[in-house]
Each structure stands twice: as C-alpha cells, then as structure tokens.
Amino acid sequence: MTTPLVEMRDVCISFGGVHAVDHVSIDLHPGEVVGLLGHNGAGKSTLIKILSGAYQADSGEIFVNGEKVVINNPRDARALQIETIYQTLALADNLDAASNLFLGRELVTPFGLVDDDAMEAETRKIMARLNPNFQKFSDPVSALSGGQRQSVAIARAVYFNAKILIMDEPTAALGPHETQMVSELIEQLKAEGIGIFLISHDIHDVMQLCDRASVMKNGKLVGVVDVDDVTDDDLLGMIILGKKPEGVAC
C-alpha cells in the first residue's frame, strides 16, 4: 500500500460537553475518493473542518504524506495542499471564471497592474485539462450552470496545487447531466493522483463516485467499507442503525 496522502488518527472534538467527533480515524490515498456519510449532526462535516483548519481538534493526530502535521487555520491547510470546495462554492457571481480562479491571488504585470490576459490564458489551460467543453470564459459565473460553476471552483483548487480535495455535497441541486459532468471531473482528478474526501447525504452519489465509504453516527465512526463490497441497503443500515454489514470488512 502507498503511504496515505492524509491520515487522521483518534481525533476528538467536543462542543459544550457534546462529543461531535469521538475517537475517529480515517485515511485517504492518492487517486482515491472516500465518501463521508451520515445524518446531520453525525460529525462528518466537523471532522473535515478539523482537516481544513476551520476547527482545532481537542486530541488526536493528523499525518500528511506520512508526516505528523499541525493545522491551526485554513492557511496551514492550504500550505499542506489541502483545499476545500464548500457547497456554496464561494464564487463571486459578478466576476468571470478567470477572476474567480485568481480571486485574492491575482497575476500582475511588471507595472503592478492586474494581468487579465495572463489570468484568462492560465484559466483556459486548466479548464482544457479538467473540462474541455467549458467555453464561457467571459461570462460572469452567475450565468453558468451548476456543473460549470463546480468546474470553476475545482479548477481554482487544482490550479493552486491541491493534492487533497474536500468536496461538500458536490452534486447537491444538480440535474443528471450536471451530475455526470461533476463525475467526469472527479475521475480526471483521480487520474492525476489527487485524493478526495466527498461529504454527501446521497448514498447513490457515494456508490457512483467513491472507492470507499466512511459512515459516522453520533460523532463515532461506524465503519469504512469498499463500495464494491456493499449495497445501498448496507450503507443505509450503517447510517440509520449504526450497524456494520455482515461479512464485510469495516
């Protein structure tokens, strides 16, 4: 087995006496998608916010490429090539794809002016790699479809060398065609060796997009399974009952 891109060991965090994440260990390998499933309040988003630097764990350890790391804030996470794509996507609706890609990290000319041409050229390059059908470079992102907006958010993370990508409900509110577009983007990222944690409520999404599924309930890890070894009902039983499927390694 390769060294995991990231490994979280025995992680705990409490809020007001409630164990939001209770001794949870998960890992992620290069070119792998690991789904995080569970009801609202199961702890999956809290666990990932520890990895992204939004929260600090009370205890536990995080390893990136086999080395123990400390993540105190989102800047630390980005320095470790961890990028998060939230469900809201955090895009500036009035700006085009290139301006969103470089928002806060604009390319400038030798005279200190924003270099729009260079930013568009770089955006065209990264989009040709990730989503060759993307053509709406001059439109504000408010005019883009859900799948195209997701493409812009993913391109921004990948352009700045993300190796570990956290995706929060990437297909929420998307139609079948748009979901397929996101699925193809994820396959492309996997082929490039990027590891993805995918937070989802949708079992079908996880079965289609993920290699493994980690299920949480009441802050605890129910188990981690290969999606090829389980059915939708197995995952449902893990989510609702906190019950591991029989005859499947967890």
Q: Encode pLDDT of 121-143 as tens digits.
A: 999 999 998 888 889 999 999 99
In this structure, the strands spanning 33-37 and 59-64 are unpaired
Residue 37 has pLDDT above 90, yes or no: yes
Q: Is 3.40.50.300 the CATH number for 1-81+163-250? A: yes
Tokens 């389980």 locate to 230
Kindly give, in sequence order, each residue whose CB lies less than 8 Å from that of residue 12, ignoring residues fewer than 6 positions away: 19, 21, 22, 23, 24, 57, 58, 59, 60
Residue 138 CA neighbour count, 13 Å, CB half:
1
Can you give the pLDDT at residue 195? 97
Reference 238, options 42, 23, 1; nearest CA is 42
Q: What's the pLDDT at 147? A: 85
Residues of the chain with CATH 3.40.50.300: 1-81+163-250
pLDDT band for position 1 (cuts 50, 70, 90)? low
